[in-house]
Structure 1
Amino acid sequence: MKTSLIEQEATIWLVDEVPSRMYFAGRRWRVSDTPTRLRDSIWGHTAAPAHGLYGWRFQATDADGESLIFDVHPSETGWHVHHTYA
C-alpha cells in the first residue's frame, strides 16, 4: 500500500453528517464505501472540535475510476486531506 502525507484543502459534501462527495486536487470524488469516523488517536496536531469528531477515513472514486483511501479532518478553514492511500 502506498501512502502520501499531504495537508491540502478539500470540499466535502455530507449527507446525514457523513461524507458522500468530495472535490480534491482538481477532481470530483464519490465516496464509494462506508466512511469510518476517526478520533483523537490518529490526529496529533488538530484540536478537538466541539462535536468531538476529528475526521473521517473513506474510499472515494473519481470519474476515471481511480480509487483512493482518504483521511480527512475539519479545521477552522474547512476540510483538509491528511493522508491518501493507493
Structure 2
Amino acid sequence: MTLWMVDDVPARMIYAGKRWRITDTPTRLRHSVWEAPRESSLGLYGWRFQGTDEDGLSLVFDVYKGEDGWHVQRAYDY
C-alpha cells in the first residue's frame, strides 16, 4: 500500500492494485483503537477515511503506520 499525504493528511493511495482518492475528511486514530501486531504498537497512529476508486466504488479504510510503512488494517463497506 502506498499513501500520499497533503499537509500531513491522507489525500490518495494505491491499494489492492487500484488508485483511491480520499473523498471525505480523514479522522486521526490513536493507539486505543488498534489491534495491530504488537511489534508495530510503538508510536502507532493511523487514519480512518473513505476512499473512492476510479469505478466509483467507495470503501472505508483504517490505515496505520508501522515501522516499515503504511498498512491497511481494515477496509469495509458502510
Task: Assess same fold via TM > 0.5.
Answer: yes
Which of 19, 25, 28 lines up with 1:34 in the alignment?
25
Aligned to 2:3: 12
CA distance in 2, matches of 1:36, 1:80: 16
Task: Map residues 3-82 of structure 1 onto 2, 5 A cutoff.
Answer: 10-45=1-36, 46-49=40-43, 54-82=45-73
Q: Distance in 1 between matches of 2:48 and 2:42?
A: 17
Aligned-pair CA distance for 1:44:
3.5
Identity %: 59
Residues 32, 60 of structure 1: 8 Å contact kept = yes
Structure 1 unaligned blocks of 5 or more: 1-9
Please give the TM-score of this superposition, normalised by the length of structure 1: 0.81
Deviation at 1:43, TM superposition (A): 1.1
Distance 1:72 1:20 in 2: 13
TM-score, length of structure 2 as denominator length: 0.89
Q: Which runs of 4+ in 1 moved over 2 A?
A: none
List per-residue Cα deviations over 1:26-67 (Å, max 9, x = no partner). 000000000000001111434232xxx610000000000000
In structure 2, the gaps of 5 or more residues are none
